A = this chain, B = another copy of it.
Amino acid sequence: MSNEAGRGDVVSACLIIIGNEILSGRTQDTNLAHLSQVLNELGVQMREARVIPDVESVIVDTVNTCRTEFDYVFTTGGIGPTHDDITADSIALAFGVALEFHPDIVALIKRREAPPEVMESRLRMARIPVGASLIDNPSGGPPGFQIENVFVMAGVPMVMQAMAGTLTKERLPGGRPVRSLTIGAFLGESQVAQDLEELQSQHPAVDIGSYPFFREAGYGTNLVARGTDPEELASIGEALKVLIENHGAEPHEGGV
């Protein structure tokens, strides 16, 4: 819960999480939270995420919808060596281009010897769409790739995080990074609702949200302000502390 302030100048991103294992509940996605934070530092805001199954037509449609709606699109998952890892094929189809073996990836994969049928499966990971550039993979495996505004990355969090760490402001021109500030208190959300609404109306460029929590120590609310102007954020922080104290509670910087 928060507002839609400051969307005009936002450089936006969408993450497409490809994988039946996430949809079935077997695996807990953690890539969204990680990538959002990485992008934020680059001044790019995650505005949507979609979790979709490993189905070619769904991947193609989703990529083609999202790449026109958002400045950047990221995908995670489905770039492994098995016949069912269909992300590269689907991205090529979405852009109407062929897949080709990339000589650098072929060389990388061939460094580790393997029986012919194993090598054949591994080499699937060397295929990227014509016109794509590589995304380095410091974790040591095959790289991801970028085609136009779509960045295709691994699904395994350790590998995805290694790839995300190589993204630079040069590659993803963004806006100003969004900073956030959290102040928590043992106060119910409804106790601060009206004051928050007033504070939000005074700061339309900042996104002020309230997030209830329930702990053994009691229930309360964390108040979060997100914006690009550090001075404005600092003054909101002071206002939040006063607001909490006025309700007879103690403000906890950084949240409870």
A residues with CB within 8 A of B? 1-4, 7, 19-30, 32-37, 40, 45-56, 58, 77-78, 80-86, 114, 117-122, 156, 158, 178, 180, 188-194, 196-197, 200, 207-212, 214, 224, 226
Contact = CB atoms under 8 A, between A and B. Distances in A.
A95 to B, nearest CB: 21
Of A48, A192, A197, most buried by chain B (CB within 10 Å of CB) is A48
Contacts of A192: 82
A190 B32 contact: no
Contact of A191 (B3, B118, B196): B118
A191 B58 CA distance: 28
Contacts of A35: 25
A3 B53 CA distance: 9
Nearest to A51: B49
B25 A40 contact: yes
B51 A32 contact: yes
Contacts of A121: 189-191, 193-194
Nearest to A62: B48
Contacts of A197: 82-84
A115 to B, nearest CB: 8
B48 A52 contact: yes
Nearest to A30: B28
Query: Considering the complex of A and B, which 8 residue pairs feature the smallest CB-CB distances, nearest first?
Result: A25-B36, A121-B193, A1-B84, A81-B190, A49-B51, A121-B190, A25-B33, A25-B37
Contact of A1 (B1, B78, B194, B211): B78
A35 B25 CA distance: 8
Given A25-B33, A34-B25, A189-B82, A212 B51 contact: no
Nearest to A197: B83
A134 B2 CA distance: 25
A36 B23 contact: yes
26 contacts: A1-B19, A1-B86, A2-B54, A20-B209, A22-B33, A23-B32, A23-B48, A24-B36, A25-B46, A26-B180, A32-B51, A50-B51, A80-B212, A82-B193, A82-B196, A83-B196, A83-B200, A84-B197, A84-B200, A84-B210, A117-B194, A118-B193, A120-B194, A121-B193, A121-B194, A156-B212
